[in-house]
Amino acid sequence: MHEKCGVVGISLEDRDAARPLYYSLYALQHRGQESAGIVTHDGFQQYSHVEMGLVGDAFDPGDLEALNGSNGIGHVRYPTAGSVNACCAQPFSVSFKSGSLGLSHNGNLVNADEIGDELADLGHAFTSDGDTEVIAHDLARNLLEEDLVRAVKRTMNRIHGSYSLTIMHDETVLGVRDPQGNRPLCIGELKDGYVLASESAAIDTLDGELIRDVKPGELVVLHADGTGYDTYQLVEPENTANCFFEHVYFARPDSTIDENLVYEVRRELGRKLWEESGVESDVVLPVPDSGRAFASGYAEAAQDDGSDIEFAEGLMKNRYVGRTFIMPTQDERERAVRLKLNPIKSTIEGKSVTIIDDSIVRGTTSTQLIKLLKDAGAEEVNVRIGAPPIVAPCYMGIDMASRDELIAGNQSVEEIRDEIEADSLSYLSIDAIAETLDKSRTDLCLGCVTGEYPYDIEGEATDRDVVRPDIGTQSSPADD
């Protein structure tokens, strides 16, 4: 699985926003490594710099100096909709009769083609195949007829899917979270302004204070002079659809999302993993780095129950090797696992081992890890996973394998255990996820582990009553 994207927006009192935006994007780099960009406005004109690559490669000091203005938005991208090229890099910028517009998007629309086709018939020219440009054009069209708040609401009434947006209309920065709250977005206060970001870790990087999460269906408008913000609850959702995988895998452990510190959530999930399927062994090992908090909680819960299990680091990670799932062939993926992880034999040899990870996708990494551990002398290798089996793809902004590629797509847990050659295998239950997050299942997006989605996706089942917007007719002001 690949991360989704990261968005940020900043309004300051009397200093340029470019460098704080740059630092924020560094803090969000884990959410996307394909491209990075910043758009600013100085009250007179808009400035933009967007490049392919990591944040550190996309900007040099001269690029930041050229981004004038105390208001701006930024984006790091991993492509989940649209091509892997510069035309889809963000923030997306457009100039039109009512001014300039910049837009950063985290998430994925499921009706972008319908809206794009309608707008193309009306004469809008598109330069990319991404859904972000569709949102920008739709909003620009509405801004010709409405004020900023009503224009945003009209666009929200038309787009269907997951989105957290940071938008800049001339020098005004705003943030929008979709009515289901599928993607995270929060607001923080700086000593001389305010910031919107996908994760609170970006606010921490700027020495700011987290104020709160942006509510599902809420619009936050930052004052252009950096002195405050206004909020508008544009849609009142009956249920949310928070992505549980943010807490399991994607977000930084030091981020707070939907009022939960991610690190503590993962530790609690590890504790519940012991409660549901704990197995006596000599040592519990995290798969670095994603399994570390789970394994810590698992071992602590085991020890609280009187177990002699030991928590230890038994796998050393080479941080200069790329992700195994982007290798083009199965043989290369298997070789990359050996390049990436090396066992510490003194921790493993002659012992029964339990390894903890956040998920199993294709099963390639798990198979190789178990072989590594047994080659290093482990007498027994048990596998515990801090999430339910992934049985279906994600359409909400995670680049995930297809059903045919997912090891749990058409196999039982016992069949998976046999394929990866583990001595035992257990996953965490969905109920444990909901209980830890203190949410009902109906307030979570569980599509990848149930095959039922909170949005109307062609050919897929839904887990709730969903009304897909009718794109045949543009809503009138009276409908807003």
Q: Which of 5, 87, 88, 186 is catalytic?
A: 5
Same domain, 226 and 274: no
Six-digit token string for 110: 């499921």
Q: How buried is residue 261: exposed, middle or buried, by Cβ count under 10 Å (0-12/13-18/19+)? A: middle
What is the tally of helices (H) and strands (E) in the chain? 16, 26
11 CB-side CA count, 13 A: 25
* Binding-site annotation: residue ranges: 243, 290, 357-358, 394, 445, 448
> Do 5 and 184 meet the contact criterion of CB atoms below 8 Å apart?
no
CB 162, CB 149: distance < 8 Å: no
Question: Looking at the predicted structure, is the pLDDT value of residue 355 above 50?
Answer: yes
Q: How many CB atoms lie within 10 A of CB 224?
A: 18
What CATH number corresponds to the domain at position 15? 3.60.20.10
Are both 152 and 295 inside the same structural domain? no
Tell me, yes or no, whether 104 lies in a domain: yes
Structural contact between residues 116 and 78, judged by C-beta atoms closer than 8 angstroms: no
What are 75's strand-pairing partners? 7, 37
pLDDT of residue 440: 96
What is the pLDDT confidence band of residue 187, given thresholds at 50, 70 and 90?
very high
Q: What is the pLDDT of residue 96?
A: 83
Tokens of 32: 């996307």
List, for residues 38-77, the tens digit of each pLDDT value: 999 999 999 999 999 999 999 999 999 999 999 999 999 8
What domain range is 205 assigned to? 6-237
Same domain, residue pair 221 and 299: no
Instruction: Report the distance separating Cα 210 and Cα 194, nearest Å.
Output: 10
Q: Please give the angle made by the CA atoms of 382, 384 and 389, to the nearest 5 degrees.
A: 125
| Residues 146 and 233 occupy one common structural domain | yes
Tell me which of 78-82, 135-139, 407-411, 436-440 is least confident: 78-82
Q: Is 88 a catalytic residue?
A: no
Alpha-carbon distance values, 134 to 92, 128, 177, 479 (Å): 10, 9, 17, 21
The whole-angstrom separation of Cα 26 and Cα 205 is 9
pLDDT of residue 328: 52
Cis omega (within 30 of 0) on the bond before 289? Answer: yes
Q: What element of type H or E holds 185?
A: none
55, 89 contact by CB (below 8 A): no
Q: β-strands 461-462, 452-453: how paired?
A: parallel
Q: Which tokens is 366 given?
A: 């798990």
- 71, 114: one domain: yes
Flag whether 458 is in a domain: no
Domain count, the chain: 2
Residues 342 and 449 reside in one and the same domain: yes
What integer pLDDT is reported at residue 326 of this predicted model? 45
**Percentage of the residues of the chain whose pLDDT score is greater than 70:** 91
187 and 298 part of one domain:
no
Residue 214 per-residue DSSP state:
P
Phi/psi at 283 (5° precision): -145, 145
Q: Does residue 295 sit in the same domain as residue 147? A: no
In angstroms, the Cα distances linking 291 to 134, 282, 353 are 37, 18, 14
Statement to judge: residues 197 and 278 lie in one domain? no
Q: State the average pLDDT for the chain.
A: 91
295 CB-side CA count, 13 A: 26
On whether residue 462 sits in a domain, the answer given is: no
**Looking at this protein, which amino acid is placed at residue 117?**
D
Q: Which two tokens stand for residue 234?
A: 């544009």
Cβ-based burial of 207 (10 A; exposed 0-12, middle 13-18, buried ≥19)? exposed
Q: Are residues 45 and 123 in the same domain?
A: yes
Do residues 222 and 174 make contact, with C-beta atoms less than 8 angstroms apart? yes
Task: State the pairing for strand pair 315-317/5-12.
Answer: unpaired
Q: Which residues have CB under 8 Å from 15's CB, separation 6+? A: 70, 192
pLDDT tens figures, 262-314: 999 999 999 999 999 999 999 999 999 889 999 999 999 999 999 999 999 99
Given this model, what pLDDT does residue 331 score? 66
165 and 135 in contact (C-beta within 8 Å)?
yes
SS3 call for 240? coil
Is 90 exceeded by the pLDDT of residue 219? Answer: yes
Statement to judge: residues 313 and 415 lie in one domain: yes
Q: Does the residue 343 lie in any domain?
A: yes
- Measured N-to-C along each axis, helices 112-121 and 131-143 cross at an angle, to the nearest 10 degrees, of 50
- Do residue 219 and residue 329 come from a single domain? no
Residue 249 lies in a domain: no
Decide if 305 is inside a domain.
yes
Tell me, yes or no, whether 277 lies in a domain: yes
Mapping DSSP to helix (H, G, I), strand (E, B) and coil, where does residue 56 land?
helix
DSSP state of 346: H
| Helix residue spans in 123-261 (DSSP H) | 131-143, 148-156, 200-205, 245
Element (H, E) at 210: strand 209-213
Of the three residues 180, 202, 237, the one that is the final residue of a domain is 237
With CA atoms as reference, report the closest residue to 393 among 451, 348, 335, 470.
451
What Cα–Cα distance (Å) separates residue 358 from each residue in 7, 65, 101, 409? Answer: 24, 41, 39, 17
**CATH number, domain at 419?**
3.40.50.2020
Is 62 part of a structural domain of the chain? yes
**272 membership: H or E segment, kind and range:** helix 262-277
145-151 average pLDDT score = 96
CA separation for the pair 461, 470 (Å, rounded)? 19
Residue 167 vs residues 7, 15, 136: alpha-carbon distances, Å: 10, 20, 9
Tokens of 437: 């997050």
> Rounded CA gap, 57 and 60, in Å?
7
The DSSP-derived string for 355-366 is: EEES--SSSHHH
> The whole model's pTM is what?
0.91
Note the pLDDT of residue 311. Answer: 96
Q: What is the pLDDT of residue 3?
A: 45
